[in-house]
Structure 1
Amino acid sequence: MSPRTVFRFARRAALGVAAATGLTWAVRAAWGLPSAMGASPSSIAPVAAGSARYRNRQFSNTEPSTQVAPGSAVSLILSALTRHRVGRPPGEIPLATPEVPDRAGDLAVTWYGHASALIEVDGFRVLTDPVWSDRVSPSAVVGPIRMHPVPVPVTELPPVDAILISHDHYDHLDRETVRALVRSQDAPFVVPIGIGAHLRKWRVPERRIVELDWGASYCVTATGPGAGDLVLTCTEARHFSGRGLLRNTTLWASWIIAGPRRRAYFGGDTGYTKAFAEIGATSGPFDLTLLPIGAYDVHWPDVHMNPEEAVRAHADVCAGDARHGLLVPIHWATFNLAFHGWSEPVRRLAAAARAAGTSVAVPLPGGRIDANAVSPQVRWWEDVDKAVTDE
């Protein structure tokens, strides 16, 4: 065989391997997409149509809002090309080993990262927006990837009384985590109207699906003698929904978690809204708030709060009293979803809270905060930022 023939044979083989590799990657990227994306709009519509807020086959915010600010397309593309990595930490994000008391506390929260948290209110446990997958995407190989490991396997979570979902974006509603919770827990999934269709597609038993519109409530009955019930109320948020090309086919929400004595507010994912003050006037003040502080940008100001707005929102839902209760920030440090520095949200939050007199606790991923005995804040994010300069 001549050298030229050998070369041609080798080149064809290399091209064949490359093509096969590319095909394999494409197959992996597309594998399971239809299921991961959830229910079709036609499956969602029959239930969603029962809401007065569902018009022309979609939901909308009470306040006028846009997902991307008008006229910002060119600037957004430029930011995506030049600033897509600024949100990654320079060092390793440390984890805390989750504490699991035998009995749920009076008022406490364990933060697992992003909007995933375990809230303890009057002896009940409520899991919020659980996402344990490595990527927040319908694909296992494409999409934003986790910047720190999950602090504990989902199978090692304690028994919970309810699983709350704020909306159906991939960083808040994850198919694989839902499937795992179906196997490991027996609690109901309490969700905004329309999201039940996704859960049904993923074979969540009907008895475990509770769909609510804004203003509606679900009661978790206490099992122990003399204990009161826990009331979960679906409340307004300013955001949007969608797992494919079509938007706003399901509702988005924030949540009130009210026990007999203590009350918590879970903001989920939202822009700043006058609804916060209305919630505070009718249902506040709250002893604990979990509010999003990350993934904000000038290109989408209506649908994500910045840290200063989170402090303002805490005051609003606490009936105008910025000094009431404890604010625990969520929706930052786990996935790189915007163009700000990874620790910028918590730095700005600390400054804004100090100016307003608002008490803030920032746990490590996996850390548990007892609202009745808050320890002095360890500014652990500063150690992450110093990791490169110390080397």
Structure 2
Amino acid sequence: MRALWLGQAGFLLTSPAGRTAEEGEQHLLIDPYLSDSLARKYKGTIFPHVRMRPAPVAVNELPPLRAVLCSHAHTDHMDPDTLAPLMAAQPHLRLACPRAVLDEALRRSAASPSRLDPLADGESVAYGPFTVTAVPSAHEERVVDEHGDDRYLGYVVDAGGTRVYHSGDCAPWDGLAERLSGLDIDVALLPVNGRDARRLANGVPGNFDFAEAVELCALSGIETLVPHHWGMFDFNTADPAAFDLDFAGRHGVTVRVPEHGAALDLARQR
């Protein structure tokens, strides 16, 4: 499996081609933010959400997709200016989201309910070669609706002999490492922009810092970390030059720092 980093938490996952011409490469999209909707929304505010770099691909340049996964309803993960034109351009495309934010996903995607797959903790769905399983996340805190369904999810994606965990926005929560340790995950795609009181007080809850992401991988038996959620907005980023690769190495974790708009080979190494 390959992962193309689209910036922030966005990734395009590609499974290898099958043995026949009909089994060509297949694609799955996670948390795409390919517009400037947040810059328009927050213009003139304390956090203006101006991009530090342009989107590496336009919606109409994306390949045919099996599905798009949204981890939660924050706009940089569930962007109406990305989802609505994408769902319109690819009429067979499906969208998975937390069941707790289904109404928001319907509104932002402008798609019919029959095309959405609402998920909750432990539930799975298959999209061609991809099997997707939902795991709760805590965007500083776990939040559930009146039915007990999580508003923030991560996804374990299994395809081509490789198992990848994308946490969405997430900070450490009790039981997460134990949950992941039994899933035989090869690669974790984790946000490392950290968190602090100033951002939280202004409506921006945070995520793991780099050391916490490494420690989660070590505790969960995940050998490879891909740190993301940096380099998009200047108020909510991390400096990749400060990633302590020696610290990761001492914990038995290999760090693959992604490049914006570039692909990483995520194939299982063991």
Instruction: Please indicate, yes or no, whether the TM-score normalized by the shorter chain is above 0.5.
Output: yes
Fraction of identical pairs, as percent: 27
Deviation at 1:271, TM superposition (A): 0.6
1:274 to 159, 166, 174: 174
Amino acid in structure 1 at the alignment position of 2:156: I
Displacement of 1:231 in angstroms is: 1.5
| Structure 1 unaligned residues grouped into runs of 5+ | 1-106, 223-228, 242-246, 375-391
Bigger proportion of residues as strand: 2
Shift of 1:194: 2.6
Q: Secondary structure at the match of 2:11?
A: strand
The CA distance in 2 between the partners of 1:119 and 1:337, in whole Å, is: 28
> SS of 2:32's equivalent?
coil
In 2: Cα distance, 1:312 partner to 1:240 partner: 17
Q: Are 1:136 and 2:42 an aligned pair?
A: no
Name the TM-score, length of structure 2 as normaliser: 0.81
Partner of 1:157: 62
Deviation at 1:236, TM superposition (A): 1.2
1:126–1:161: 8 Å Cα contact kept in structure 2? yes
Tell me the distance in 2 between the aligned counterparts of 1:336 and 1:193. Answer: 32
The equivalent residue for 1:289 is: 188
SS in 2 for 1:147: coil
- 1:139 and 1:343 map into 2 onto residues whose CA distance is 23
Task: Determine if the alignment matches structure 1 residue 198 to structure 2 residue 104.
Answer: yes
**Alpha-carbon shift at residue 367 of structure 1 (Å):** 0.5
Distance change (3 Å), C-alpha of 1:205 and 1:137: farther
Number of residue-to-residue matches in the alignment: 247
Residue number in structure 2 paired with 1:368: 263
Tell me how far apart the structure 1 counterparts of residues 93 and 169 of structure 2 sit (CA, whole Å).
23
| 1:100-111 matched pairs, under 5 angstroms | 107-111=1-5
Contact kept in structure 2, 1:327 and 1:360, CA below 8 Å: yes
CA positional deviation for 1:176: 0.7
Instruction: Measure how far apart 1:188 and its partner are.
Output: 0.8
Deviation at 1:259, TM superposition (A): 2.5
Whole-angstrom CA distance in 1 between matches of 2:197 and 2:217: 22
Tell me what 2:20 maps to: none
Question: For residues 214 and 131 of structure 1, what CA distance do their matches in structure 2 show?
Answer: 24
Residue number in structure 1 paired with 2:74: 169
Structure-1-length-normalised TM-score: 0.57
Any idea what SS the aligned residue of 1:283 has? coil
Deviation at 1:156, TM superposition (A): 0.3
Shift of 1:273: 2.1
Q: Does 1:215 align with 2:215?
A: no
For the structure 1 residues 316 and 188, does the alpha-carbon distance in structure 2 shift closer, same or farther, using more than 3 Å as the test? farther
Residue 125 of structure 1: aligned partner: 27
Q: Residue by residue, what CA displacement relative to the aligned partner does 1:39-70 show, whole Å, maximum 9, x if unpaired?
A: xxxxxxxxxxxxxxxxxxxxxxxxxxxxxxxx
Q: Which of these residues, 206, 221, 242, is aligned with residue 347 of structure 1? A: 242
- SS for the counterpart of 1:214 is coil
Q: 1:124 to 1:349 in 2, by over 3 A?
A: farther
Change (3 A) 1:198 1:298: closer
Deviations 1:72-101 (A, max 9, x none): xxxxxxxxxxxxxxxxxxxxxxxxxxxxxx
Whose radius of gyration is greater, 1 or 2?
Answer: 1
Q: Displacement of 1:193 after TM fit?
A: 1.1
Change (3 A) 1:287 1:373: closer
Give CA deviations for 1:123-173 in whole Å, capped at 9, x if unaligned. 542211111122426727453111101111121011111111111112211
1:304 alignment partner in structure 2: 207
1:248, distance to aligned residue in structure 2 (A): 6.4
Q: What does the per-residue CA deviation read over 1:203-249, in whole Å, with 9 as the maximum and x for residues that have no partner?
A: 212221110111111122x3xxxxxx4211110111279xxxxx866
SS in 2 for 1:268: coil
Letter in 2 for 1:367: A
Letter of the aligned partner of 1:114 in structure 2? Q
CA shift in 2, pair 1:371/1:281, >3 Å: closer
RMSD: 2.8
* 2:14 aligned counterpart, secondary structure: strand
* Superposition deviation, residue 336 in structure 1: 2.6
Q: How does 1:63-82 map to 2 (within 5 A)?
A: none
Structure 2 residues without counterparts, runs of 5 or longer: 17-24
- What is the rounded CA distance, in whole Å, between the counterparts of 2:268 and 2:182 in structure 1? 28
